[in-house]
Each structure stands twice: as structure tokens, then as C-alpha cells.
Amino acid sequence: MPLHIRLTVLGHGDAATGVDVEVAAPADTPLDAVLGSLAATVAPGSAAPGSVYCEDQRLDPRQALLGRPPLVDGAVLAFHRPLEGPGREPVPATLLVVSGPDAGGVHLLRGGEARIGRSADADIPLNDPDVSRVHCALALAPDGTVTVTDLGSTNGTLLNGAPVRRGPQPVRSGSLLRLGESVLRVVTAGAPEQPPPAAPAAPAERSARRGLTGWALGRLGGQEADAPQGPAAAPPRAEPAESRWPDPATLLLTALDAGPRLWERSAAHPDAFTVRLGTVQQAPGVLPPVTVALPRAGSLGLAGPRERITGVARSVLAQLAGLHPPSALQLVALAVDRARDWSWLGWLPHLRPAAGQDCRLLLAFDPRQAAARARELTELLARPHPGRRTVVLVDGDPGDAQARAALTRLAAEGPAAGIHLLVLGETPQPGGLPVGQTLAAANVAAPLLRSCGAVAVLSGPVATALRLTGPAGDAGPTAGADAVSPAWAERFARALAPVGEEVAGAPPAPAVTALPETCRLLDALELSRVTPTALRERWSRHSGLPLVLGTGTQGPAALDLAEARGPLAVDGGAGTGRTELLCALAASLAAAQEPDALSLLLVEGSGEGLRPCAELPHVTSYLGATDPVRMRAFAQALREELKRRAALLGEVDFTAARRRGGRVVALRSAAEEGAPAAEIGALPWLVVLVDDYDALTSPALGAPGRPAAGSVVRALETAAREGQRLGVRLIAAGDVPGAEIRVALSGRPPGRAELRPASGAVTAFQAGRVTARIPRTSTLRPTVSRLDWARAGDPPARRPVRELGNGPTDVALLASAAARAARTDHAGRAATATLV
């Protein structure tokens, strides 16, 4: 399968205007192969650059492979000169902004004095309205001691609750500094109770902000907010309540280092889906967090001026994404015309459509996308994902009446199905309103707030004070809200973009990707070049009946038909791809077992759709629905075959016997431990494929096979009922009785389907094709395209697949290779008897 990675390329000239691109290429393509296209995409007409860097590391384009570190999803490439990196030396001290309106900053102190203040000229700028332009200074002495001095600030500086005077005061590791509404924690590497910084790190100097963050600030048009730096020091040891809900700075470090806390919360975790909104300044040195448990609250609202509520929403979404794996959390954003504020979410793996949604990312920045997301969420109400919750950001009106109605329904019924809304209620004033008035104004702007079990209201003179209201909110004192900047969010989300679930200790799973628009079955089978040798190798490997149906979001969609306890039914309307899927299933089975070990019977209810598979050497009978005499003979032969099997096997279950007894020979004594094996004859698996069953049960008036269709149906019913134990399986398009596994084709695009086993999770997949003549090279050429975040919620671009009018189909290639493989395999062995 080709690999898709998203990169940001900083080209010539102004490094602040990077271009996000998507590269599709076969795995392990060297950067060299796409460098020219990358340059031309960033600046039309320009050639491949002489030197290329990934952040501060120079790359050799012939050696650096796409998809391998550092060229992973979310990486930033710079042409001609490196981006300034964090440096490699250990850092003596770190300053973490752990709470407040501009939280999340991680500043690495290397020595000398660092001035903190609201001014853009401060060494550590803090976007907090209650902080003075130049507020206080931290000094790091050569012996590692840290001191703080207040520089005449209006609101003063508190060190562990006590006012800091003008003269320098020593700061012990772990101390909390309070400036305005911001709380900062100082961590020194030398302090015995602190773990050493994990390095590499950057100095807290203005020049350091020319790195990714400086660039990110420029492109986001954000204020000169606090600049997160990293990867960096280990987080400080905190109070239990604080560490239970990590502060934004600790969260950023966790994401940058893929630390042990990353994705620590599955659905069963006691703190799953509980988010921290801010902290209460209580006793000196203690910061009790204010939290909301989404499962209890249902939905969460944020009310207040836009700048403040978007900052808190970023912090809430980052916590959810940092602590919960994509297998436990799906994120969706409905923010019409607000791509600029929320496109950073697109880097998070939690927004990839893992349940077959027809879009590139679960984002909605226009009314059409909002309508599509609302439809998908409404469908989820009826069929919730077991063990996975969905959090939906709702920012503004969706711009579509049906989407509006769907959101109202989701607010009421969603929580019971694991769907929680995060509703932004924007008030017009920049602040200064009391809690009640802020809430009233927000309710007018966002009526959905009324359905939220908890609403965090940001009020006070500069709207940094947070109060929880609503039945499920932890009623408590006014807290300082935790908000993070757009640059912080961008850095955080990029750090998670390439992370696979196994990093966090979960069972290994390939990265979740969107479903492709088409899938070549032979690629999904890893038989891109189908040769007799490759087939013989596969045949020797398999014992059951492994079926590969196509490509899912996490690799091939597959099941073992040997394990199935009833027929497999393929449902879908005309033209959805049922016949093609049956052909793919026949091909998939033929690739799994040699003809001696598996017989396929193809039965047409109407038409001749299965004919391309008749060439497979496994096919012992191909029955059209036009000749009553042949149809009756077939029904009779199938019934007799069932009887023969029952007589041969006696009490023995075919499945168990075959597992013990090799490829084609069943053993009477299979169930008896240690008993001598008794050979009872050649008995291959028998799989009957029917297209379609409904046309046989109610044949069209005047259909030539009509008089005999009933006898075929009765024989098939017997096979479905009694064949199970006898090594007989039935696969049919249509409503076959007793179906245990269902495949539902939606047909949008053709071959798009869901696998629905009787028990277990539903898997969305794109069915594999075998009868088309697809130029195989078309999937192998690397392509580079500009990423337009506003369009990320659209269905993936469907390039019409050019089908060549000549040349063999994949099923023909497979049939020819299988025939040659069987012939070679057979030298010296008796030919198999034709069963039916």
C-alpha cells in the first residue's frame, strides 16, 4: 500500500511561510525521488535544492527514506539552511508554565538572567493580561542555584504564596511562582529530588524562538506568545492531584518524548475522559485542579470571550488526545469558516476516519462537510463503537439545517452512545461581565450550551477566572483557567502525528489511515507479483481458510472462513460491487489453499458475473442459471457429496480432523488423544459461492433456469445447515438463511463495505478488485500535492482509475500462476477426484 505522509516545507526566503504538502509514495522511497516535486510545489518553477534539513539535521536525500524518522508525518523540512534546533547539551534548569491563560511553555534555562513579562521583548514572554510588560527576572548562577527578583510589577510576584521583594530571592526546585493568573514551576537538574533533564534542549533566549515555534507563530499570525521548546527536560515530580491531571507543559513534554503517560487511558481507566480546566490557588505550593468527567457531564460547554475559550478548548482537546489512544478516542471538529483556528487538529491521529467515514479527516470547515460529519455521528448513535468514545468540538453554527438538528439530537442522546460535545459559546464583550451575564450571552450565541451537563464560564475583568456551572460540574471556588496558545497546539499535535499506538504500550497496530478509493486484491494479499513459487509458499503456510476481503483502515480486512459457524452473506444494492467481491473472495481462497485442499463451486443465480473465476484450478463446477437439467444434476451431486462426507467422517468434525491430519486427509481418530490415525480418504474443503441467492429463491418470470432453481436452493440450504461440520462453507450475495457473517456494501464508492461478524467489532474496508485491468504502475509513482486544510473534511479526491482494454485481469494472472503451481506440485501425485 502506498504511504501517505504530510510534511511542511520551508522554502526559499521567508521561513515563516511554510507550505504543508502530502506525499504519496511506495514505502521506503528515498527523499531524492520527490525532492524536485517538493521544491516545485513550494515555489512553482524552482528546482531541487542543493541542501535540505529536517529541523536542524542535514539530510542525505539518497539515504533519507520517506516514512522513516526523521521523515515522518508532521516533519518540517527546510531548504538551504537549517532551522535552529534546541541544542544537544544538558540543561541546568527548566521553567514550566503549568497553569494560566498562556500555559504549556517549557523554557530551558542555561545561565544568566531571563526576564519574564507580557512584552514581546521579554526573554520569556507570557500572554497574561495581569502580568506586567517586564514583570520579574530569574537568574541561574554557575553553581546551579536559581533566584527570582520582582522588577517592579503592578500585581507582584508570589513565590510559594509569599510576595517576592525587589532583591533576589532563592528558588528551590519544584517551587511555584505566581505572576498575574499564571503559575510557573522551576525545576533544577541538580536538585536531588528531581529527575535529570532528558536533553536535548534550547536556551531561553529570544534567538531560540527562531526555531519551529518562531516559525509556527509567524504562520499562525499568533501573538508573540510563550514559546514552547523541546524536546526537553523530564517533568517535575508534582503533587498527586496535579500529576493525575498533567499540566499543559508536562503534557507537551510527554508528547515530544512519547513518554510513558502518552495514551495511558483506555476506556477502563478510572480517569478516562476527565479533563482539567484550570487550577485553584489554595495553600502555597499546591495547585488543586478543577476537572470535569465527560462521561458524567455528558457534554461540556465553554462560555466567554473567543480568545479565552479557544485557548481553554485547545488545552482540553490536547489533554484528551495526549492521554487517550486513537483506539479509545475519536475526535471530530465542526467549525464552519474557522479552519485557521482548528486546522492544527488535523495532525492528531484521533481525527483520521477509522470507521470508514468518506473523508480525509474528521473536520468540517464548510456546511457540506458539517452535514457529512453530522450524518456520520447520527449513524454512530445507532451503532456505537465498543470501547471508543467520540468528542465533537462544536464552534459556531454548522450552516446546515439538518446538521443543526443532528447536533441538538447528539447533545441529548450522544452521551449514552459515548458521544460528547465540546461546545464553544462566544460572548461579544472582551470580558468584565459577571458569571450569570456571561452565561446568558453565551447561551444566545450557542443554544447547545443549555444541553451541556457542565459549563465552564470565563469571567472576571480579563476573563481568565473560571467557574463551573451545571449539574455535573464540580462546584467550587473560582479557578484560574488553563489555556494554551495556537503555536503550542500546533507543536503538540505535530509531535503526535507520527506516533503509532504500540509506542504507548498498547498491542501493536499499524497506523490508522483513511480507506483508499480502490484496492487491488493482489496487493492486499501481498502477491503483487503473482508467481507459482509465491503461491506454493502461501499454500504451504495456511491451514484454515483465510479470506482477505480488501483493505481496512489498519491493514488488510480479513477473516478465517474455517472458523465461521454459518454462511457469509454479501448484502448491497445493484452496482455496489457484490459480484466483484465474490470474485475477490474466490481469488483470495485460491491464494490460500492448493487445489487439492480446496474445491470451489461457482453458482450463478443470474448473469455470468462469476465466470472470470472459472479459470481458477480450484473450481470444480461452474453452474449457470440457464439449464434446468444441469441445475438439477448439480443439486443432486451436492446432496450426495454431503452424504459421502457424513459417512466418511462419522462423528469426527472436519475442522478438527484437518488440523491434525494434514492437507487433504481427514483422520477418524482426531479427537482421541494418542490413538492411531486412521486414514479415511481425500477430503478437501468445499466452498460454494452463489451470485446471487435471491435470484435463485425468486427467479424472474421467464428465466430459463426457473423450473430447477428450487432444487438448487434446497441443496444449498442443506449445505448451509449440515455442511458446517463436514468442511463445507457457503458464501452468497443476497439473503442466505442462517448467515453468521455479513458484508454490507454501501457502493459509495463501489466496493466500499463493512464486515459485520455475528459477534465482534464492525470493520470498514474497501473491497479488493480482481477482474479489472488496472495499470499496476499507477499506484507506484510518488506524488506531491499541496495540503489544503479547509478541504480536509471532503471525501478523498477520486482519480478515475484507468482500466486498460487489453492485457490480463488479476484473476486471470492468479489462475494461470495457480495452475502452473499445482502442476509442479503434483508431479508424482495422484490427481484429485472431481467432487461435484
Residue ranges of the annotated binding site for ATP are 572-579
Give me the least distance between CB of 574 and ligand ATP, in Å please.
Answer: 4
Give me the least distance between CB of 589 and ligand ATP, in Å please.
Answer: 17
Helix, strand, coil abundance in the chain, percent, nearest 5: 30, 25, 45
Whichever of 247 and 691 has its CB closer to ligand ATP, that residue is: 691
Which alpha helices (DSSP H) does 603-705 contain, by range? 628-649, 654-661, 693-697
Give me the least distance between CB of 561 and ligand ATP, in Å please.
Answer: 19
578 scored as a contact of ligand ATP (CB under 6 A): yes
Whichever of 575 and 807 has its CB closer to ligand ATP, that residue is: 575
454, 477 Cβ separation under 8 angstroms: no
In this structure, the number of other CB atoms found within 10 A of the CB of residue 659 comes to 14
Give me the least distance between CB of 582 and ligand ATP, in Å please.
Answer: 8
What span, in angstroms and rounded, lies between the C-alpha atoms of 354 and 234? 33
Site string for ligand ATP, 95-124 (x = CB under 6 A): ------------------------------
Which alpha helices (DSSP H) does 433-543 contain, by range? 435-445, 486-496, 521-524, 532-541
Give me the least distance between CB of 769 and ligand ATP, in Å please.
Answer: 4
Burial pattern 683-710, b for ≥16 Cβ within 10 A else e, equals: bbbbbbbbbbbebbbebeeebebbebbe
H or E stretch at 313: helix 306-323
**Of the ranges 568-576, 621-629, 787-795, 818-826, which one interacts with ligand ATP (CB under 6 A)?**
568-576
**Of the ranges 146-154, 489-497, 574-582, 643-651, which one interacts with ligand ATP (CB under 6 A)?**
574-582
Q: Is 460 helix (H, G, I), strand (E, B) or coil?
A: coil
Give me the least distance between CB of 606 and ligand ATP, in Å please.
Answer: 8
Between strands 157-159 and 162-163, the pairing is antiparallel
Give me the least distance between CB of 686 and ligand ATP, in Å please.
Answer: 24
Among 175, 378, 576, 779, binds ligand ATP (CB under 6 A): 576
Among 751, 754, 764, 793, binds ligand ATP (CB under 6 A): 751
Whichever of 163 and 575 has its CB closer to ligand ATP, that residue is: 575
Place of cell 479526491: 797
Among 268, 283, 574, 830, binds ligand ATP (CB under 6 A): 574
CA angle (279 as vertex; 311, 214 as ends), nearest 5:
35
In this structure, the number of other CB atoms found within 10 A of the CB of residue 677 comes to 16
Among 418, 572, 612, 624, binds ligand ATP (CB under 6 A): 572
What span, in angstroms and rounded, lies between the C-alpha atoms of 100 and 108? 19
Whichever of 272 and 582 has its CB closer to ligand ATP, that residue is: 582
Binders of ligand ATP in range 373-412 (CB under 6 A): none
- What secondary structure, in 3-state letters, does 792-808 show? CCCCCCCCCCCCCCCCC
Give me the least distance between CB of 733 and ligand ATP, in Å please.
Answer: 7
Whichever of 441 and 557 has its CB closer to ligand ATP, that residue is: 557
**Of the ranges 53-61, 85-93, 265-273, 573-581, which one interacts with ligand ATP (CB under 6 A)?**
573-581
**Of the ranges 126-134, 462-470, 569-577, 706-714, which one interacts with ligand ATP (CB under 6 A)?**
569-577
551 scored as a contact of ligand ATP (CB under 6 A): no
Site string for ligand ATP, 470-509 (x = CB under 6 A): ----------------------------------------
What span, in angstroms and rounded, lies between the C-alpha atoms of 407 and 164? 50
Torsions phi, psi for 688 (to 5 deg): -105, 125
Among 100, 325, 349, 750, binds ligand ATP (CB under 6 A): 750
**Of the ranges 9-17, 84-92, 576-584, 810-818, which one interacts with ligand ATP (CB under 6 A)?**
576-584
Whichever of 415 and 750 has its CB closer to ligand ATP, that residue is: 750
What span, in angstroms and rounded, lies between the C-alpha atoms of 412 and 414? 6
What span, in angstroms and rounded, lies between the C-alpha atoms of 687 and 684? 10
What span, in angstroms and rounded, lies between the C-alpha atoms of 788 and 802? 26
| Residues in contact with 459: Cβ distance below 8 Å, sequence separation at least 6, in sequence order | 304, 431, 433, 434, 435, 438, 465, 467
Binders of ligand ATP in range 666-685 (CB under 6 A): none
Torsions phi, psi for 818 (to 5 deg): -65, -40
804 scored as a contact of ligand ATP (CB under 6 A): no
Whichever of 228 and 577 has its CB closer to ligand ATP, that residue is: 577
434 scored as a contact of ligand ATP (CB under 6 A): no
Whichever of 751 and 793 has its CB closer to ligand ATP, that residue is: 751
767 scored as a contact of ligand ATP (CB under 6 A): yes
Give me the least distance between CB of 731 and ligand ATP, in Å please.
Answer: 14
Give me the least distance between CB of 260 and ligand ATP, in Å please.
Answer: 42
Binders of ligand ATP in range 515-534 (CB under 6 A): 518
| Residues in contact with 614: Cβ distance below 8 Å, sequence separation at least 6, in sequence order | 602, 622
732, 693 Cβ separation under 8 angstroms: yes
Give me the least distance between CB of 696 and ligand ATP, in Å please.
Answer: 14
Q: Give 282: exposed, middle or buried? Use CB within 10 Å, 0-12, 13-18, 19+.
A: exposed
Among 471, 476, 505, 575, binds ligand ATP (CB under 6 A): 575
Whichever of 465 and 743 has its CB closer to ligand ATP, that residue is: 743
Strand stretches in 566-716, DSSP E: 568-571, 598-604, 619-623, 665-667, 679-682, 685-691
What span, in angstroms and rounded, lies between the C-alpha atoms of 574 and 218? 53
Whichever of 104 and 572 has its CB closer to ligand ATP, that residue is: 572
Q: Give the residue nearest to ligand ATP (CB).
A: 751
Binders of ligand ATP in range 768-787 (CB under 6 A): 769
Place of cell 510518488: 782
Give me the least distance between CB of 739 and ligand ATP, in Å please.
Answer: 17
Place of cell 469571567: 459
Place of cell 488526545: 321
Give me the least distance between CB of 708 and ligand ATP, in Å please.
Answer: 21
Q: Is 72 helix (H, G, I), strand (E, B) or coil?
A: coil
Q: Which long-range contacts (CB under 8 A, 24 or more apart) does 618-623 make?
A: 618/586, 618/589, 618/590, 618/593, 618/818, 619/586, 620/834, 620/835, 620/836, 621/834, 621/836, 623/712
Count of residues that interact with ligand ATP, criterion CB under 6 A: 14
Whichever of 481 and 557 has its CB closer to ligand ATP, that residue is: 557
Q: Is 169 helix (H, G, I), strand (E, B) or coil?
A: strand
Please give the C-alpha separations between residue 379 and each of 198, 212, 366, 759, in angstroms, as whole numbers. 46, 40, 20, 19
Among 577, 624, 699, 734, binds ligand ATP (CB under 6 A): 577
What span, in angstroms and rounded, lies between the C-alpha atoms of 319 and 329? 12
Residues comprising the binding site? 572-579
Give me the least distance between CB of 773 and ligand ATP, in Å please.
Answer: 11
Whichever of 606 and 620 has its CB closer to ligand ATP, that residue is: 606
| Residues in contact with 710: Cβ distance below 8 Å, sequence separation at least 6, in sequence order | none
Site string for ligand ATP, 579-618 (x = CB under 6 A): xx----------------------------x---------
**Of the ranges 166-174, 417-425, 571-579, 595-603, which one interacts with ligand ATP (CB under 6 A)?**
571-579
Give me the least distance between CB of 581 and ligand ATP, in Å please.
Answer: 7
Tell me the three cell numbers of residue 807: 492485457
Whichever of 577 and 617 has its CB closer to ligand ATP, that residue is: 577
Q: Contact residues for ligand ATP (CB under 6 A)?
A: 518, 572, 574-580, 609, 750-751, 767, 769
